[in-house]
């Protein structure tokens, strides 16, 4: 009798990973592991989350979640973005199901390449409409919008500028507050 191995891991495999200090994600069935984020990463995440919550929640545009939370895009794509905005009805007992309104990744030395390539491409392929990349070291916030199955830079905020997003014009983010 021949024994076959799974070619792609799925949500059930992912759910069986014992808890430890690492972050595990499935991207197209492949397991990716990253270490816990640094203090500056956590600071930027927490501060950006506050601005997002103050904008999205009161307007009924979605609920903001921070890592660790499972974003289940497909049975073979389970990720833990740093921040996300889930549309009403996407929250389940397992996590967030389906492409959210917005995903934010905050760059770290160990995640920069993956966040800019593998994850960005996968998010685009799976219909995540907005993808932001925060770079604490460069003091930049890049906001991308999905167009023809790829991301186009919509607005770039740098340094101490105030970022105003064209799709959400009342969302104003004073970047100096993120980096200090």
Cα within 13 Å of Cα(38), Cβ side: 12
Tens digit of each residue's pLDDT (9 = 90 or more) over 15-68: 999 888 788 999 999 999 888 888 999 999 999 999 999 999 999 999 999 999
Q: How many domains does the chain have?
A: 1
Q: Report the DSSP beta bridge partners of residue 34.
A: 23
Residue at 2 is within a domain = no
Q: What average pLDDT does the structure give for the chain? A: 93
CA dihedral 17, 133, 139, 176 (to 10 degrees): -100
2 falls in which pLDDT band (50, 70, 90)? low
Residue 48: which of 178, 140, 163 has the closest Cα?
A: 178
* C-alpha of 65 from chain center: 10
Residue at 94 is within a domain = yes
Query: What is the predicted pLDDT for the residue at 12?
Result: 93
Residue at 92 is within a domain = yes
Residue at 132 is within a domain = yes
Residue 178: which of 85, 45, 81 has the closest Cα?
A: 45
4 falls in which pLDDT band (50, 70, 90)? low
Residue at 165 is within a domain = yes
Domain that includes residue 16, residue range: 11-179
Residue at 4 is within a domain = no
6 falls in which pLDDT band (50, 70, 90)? low
Question: Is it the case that residue 165 has pLDDT exceeding 90?
Answer: yes
CATH number at residue 76: 3.90.1570.10
Residue at 153 is within a domain = yes
Confirm if 104 and 83 have CB atoms less than 8 A apart.
yes
- Find the mean pLDDT for residues 92-117: 95
166 falls in which pLDDT band (50, 70, 90)? very high
Residue at 3 is within a domain = no
Confirm if 140 and 177 have CB atoms less than 8 A apart.
no
Confirm if 110 and 35 have CB atoms less than 8 A apart.
yes
């Amino acid at each position: 009798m021949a024994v076959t191995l799974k070619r792609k891991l799925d949500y059930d495999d992912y759910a069986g990973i014992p808890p430890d200090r690492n972050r595990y994600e499935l991207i197209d069935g492949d397991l990716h592991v990253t270490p816990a984020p640094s203090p500056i990463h956590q600071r930027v995440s927490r501060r950006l989350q506050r601005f997002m919550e103050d904008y999205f929640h009161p307007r009924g545009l979605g609920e903001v979640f921070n890592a660790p939370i499972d974003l289940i895009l497909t049975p073979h794509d389970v990720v833990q973005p740093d921040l996300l905005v889930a549309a009403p009805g996407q929250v389940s007992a397992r996590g967030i199901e389906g492409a959210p309104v917005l995903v934010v990744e905050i760059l770290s030395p160990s995640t920069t390449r993956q966040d800019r390539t593998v994850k960005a491409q996968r998010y685009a392929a799976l219909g995540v409409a907005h993808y932001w990349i925060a770079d604490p070291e460069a003091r930049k916030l890049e906001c991308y919008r999905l167009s023809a199955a790829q991301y186009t830079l919509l607005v770039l905020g740098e340094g101490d500028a105030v970022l105003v997003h064209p799709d959400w014009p009342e969302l104003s983010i004073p970047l100096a507050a993120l980096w200090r």
